[in-house]
Amino acid sequence: MPILRAYALPHPPLAVPAVGRGQEQKIQATLSAFDEVAREIAALAPETIVYITPHNMNYADYFHISPGKSAKGSFARFSAPEARFEVEYDTALAGEIADIAQQNGLPAGPLGEKDAKLDHGVMVPMWFISQRYQDYRAVRISQSGMDAAAHYRLGQCIGQAAERRRVVLIASGDLSHKLVGSSYGSVPEGAVFDQAVTEALSHGDFLSLLNIPEDLRERAAECGYNSYMVLAGYFDCCKVEARLLSYEGPFGVGYAVASVAPGEPAEDGYRALARQSLEYTVQSGRRLPLPEGLPEELLKSQAGVFVSLHKDGRLRGCIGTIAPTTESVALEIIQNAVSAGLHDNRFEPVEAAELPLLTYKVDVLSPPEAIAGPEDLDLQRYGVIVTRGHRRGLLLPNLEGIATVEEQVAIARQKGGIPAGAPVQLERFEVVRHA
């Protein structure tokens, strides 16, 4: 079952009328966006809503997941004890998320709860949702002190556990607490951070979200960033349709409401298989079994394949085969993706924490053909193989930073350890690039 939808929601207690006592009217855009979200959720009719909150049990190296069968809470600490909640937990989903997280090297589970009450990071979104929809169970998961990549990986685990259920994810968090007018004092970085986050949320640009500097986050005094990273991981390998429904900060704290829905898979079968292969091996130490349901073109054809990994726009590994060495392109990809990540001698082996940060490129090579000389090459169309005796160097076509055929051949010579000017045999090949 596909992911239904996820929302980035703020949690100002004064948005609840019993707490705000009229002050909530100063954030009318936020209130309207909350109601729009509640209407959408009612139409989706999820069986479970997963809340990510920064305001419950936050451990340095552990994701705390709601224990027990139910929980209660109220806004008593905000002088509104009459605004109260009781929610039933989805214990099966909570347990499955914890199991998948632990299998992927993320410490997570129900241990160590010191206060069973619901926190306002959950209750503010819950109050607005309850005005339109109440027939659901919940899972409450706290942020941790681990880095953004760990929160992204947690989102992947939640997405995997939610595949067979109707689930909506709520990423609860406020933006900067240091905008103009804040009781905490204001800093210029507050507005810079909020603009960066709202731009990312409005376009579903999770890569730019990931690249927001940690020192900017600290200066802005935010509490929602890691919740948003869980949301990003929840949509791993999917195109998304994202909308920023509102943003305002009249009390010196940034409040953003955004809706994110899944689109078509962002990776075709070639790149998805490369990603799956490397992640499986890094996390389990075993080779990925050939998945079921792969396209016939991956299973029935043979070819040489190069798999390239990039991180932050820079090469992180590249290994390939000039001619097929396995029974199918699928097996070639599985083999070479692992080699690119773990056995490229130019780089340290990829670690589990890096996996969410990698992008993949798969080049499927046509059979090489001999050519008379460089005049038969086309830099954009053909790759080149340079051979002298047992030495061989290869360079793929259409690579950034290579401007001439002469440069292409020279680099291929260097890769093969062939001296400049030494007589060589040249071959060319074409590729189908999945990037």
Residue type, 101: A
pLDDT at residue 83 tops 70 = yes
Q: Give the model's confidence band at 264: pLDDT under 50 very low, under 70 low, under 90 confident, else very high.
A: low
Residue 1: the pLDDT is 47
Condensed to tens digits (0 to 9), the pLDDT of residues 393-413 reads 999 998 888 999 999 999 999
Q: Give the model's confidence band at 110: pLDDT under 50 very low, under 70 low, under 90 confident, else very high.
A: very high
Rounded to 5 degrees, φ, ψ at 244 are: -90, 110
Average pLDDT of 51-79? 95
The neighbour count for residue 398, using CB atoms within 10 Å, is 16
> The tokens 């050519």 sit on which residue?
371
Q: Give the model's confidence band at 423: pLDDT under 50 very low, under 70 low, under 90 confident, else very high.
A: very high
* Domains of the chain with CATH codes: 5-265 (3.40.830.10), 267-365 (3.30.700.20), 366-435 (3.30.1490.150)
For 296, residues 6+ apart whose C-beta sits below 8 A from its C-beta are none
Residue 26: the pLDDT is 96
Condensed to tens digits (0 to 9), the pLDDT of residues 330-350 reads 999 999 999 999 999 999 999
> The tokens 């069968």 sit on which residue?
69
Residue type, 84: R
Q: Which of 347, 296, 299 is nearest to 319 (CA)?
A: 347
Measured CA to CA in angstroms, residue 397 lies from 261, 308, 332, 355, 358 at distances of 36, 13, 20, 27, 22
Residue 332: the pLDDT is 97
Q: What is the maximal distance between C-alpha atoms in the chain?
A: 87
Average pLDDT of 356-368? 92
Condensed to tens digits (0 to 9), the pLDDT of residues 158-208 reads 999 998 899 999 999 999 999 999 999 999 999 999 999 999 999 999 888
Q: What does the H/E/C string look like for 25-87? A: HHHHHHHHHHHHHHHHHHHHCCCEEEEEECCCCCECCEEEECCCCEEEEEEHHHCEEEEEEEE
Per DSSP, the three-state class of 150 is helix
Concatenated DSSP letters of 157-191: HHHHHGGGS-EEEEEE----S-STT-TT---HHHH
Residue 268: the pLDDT is 81
Cα–Cα distance measured from residue 11 to residue 55, given in angstroms and rounded to the nearest whole number: 10
* Sheet containing 305-311, strands listed edge to edge, beginning at the edge strand earlier in sequence: 314-320, 305-311, 358-365, 431-434
Among the residues of 104-147, which ranges form H helices? 120-130
> The tokens 């798999």 sit on which residue?
307
Average pLDDT of 224-228? 97
Residue 435: the pLDDT is 77
pLDDT at residue 312 tops 80 = no
Strand boundaries in 335-397, DSSP class E: 358-365, 369-371, 383-388, 391-395
Residue type, 240: V
| 8 Å CB contact between 427 and 371 | yes
Cα–Cα distance measured from residue 172 to residue 231, given in angstroms and rounded to the nearest whole number: 10
The neighbour count for residue 411, using CB atoms within 10 Å, is 18
Q: Which of 280, 281, 178, 169 is nearest to 229 (CA)?
A: 169
Residue 295: the pLDDT is 87
Concatenated DSSP letters of 184-214: T---HHHHHHHHHHHHHHHHT-HHHHHTS-H
| 8 Å CB contact between 128 and 37 | yes
Residue 189: the pLDDT is 96
pLDDT at residue 237 tops 50 = yes
The neighbour count for residue 200, using CB atoms within 10 Å, is 23
Residue 266: the pLDDT is 55
The neighbour count for residue 147, using CB atoms within 10 Å, is 13
pTM value is 0.65
| Mean pLDDT over each residue of the chain, to the nearest integer | 93
CA quadruple 48, 258, 217, 210: dihedral sign: positive
DSSP state of 304: -
For 328, residues 6+ apart whose C-beta sits below 8 A from its C-beta are 298, 299, 300, 301, 302
Pairing relation of β-strands 5-9 and 167-172?
A: parallel
The neighbour count for residue 291, using CB atoms within 10 Å, is 15
Per DSSP, the three-state class of 234 is helix
pLDDT at residue 2 tops 60 = no
β-sheet bridge partners, residue 80: 75
Per DSSP, the three-state class of 113 is coil
Average pLDDT of 261-269? 72
Average pLDDT of 283-291? 94
Rounded to 5 degrees, φ, ψ at 275 are: -60, -50
**Buried b vs exposed e over 269-282: b needs ≥16 C-beta within 10 Å?**
bbbbbbbbbbbbbb
Residue 304: the pLDDT is 95
Residue 265: the pLDDT is 55
Residue 267: the pLDDT is 66
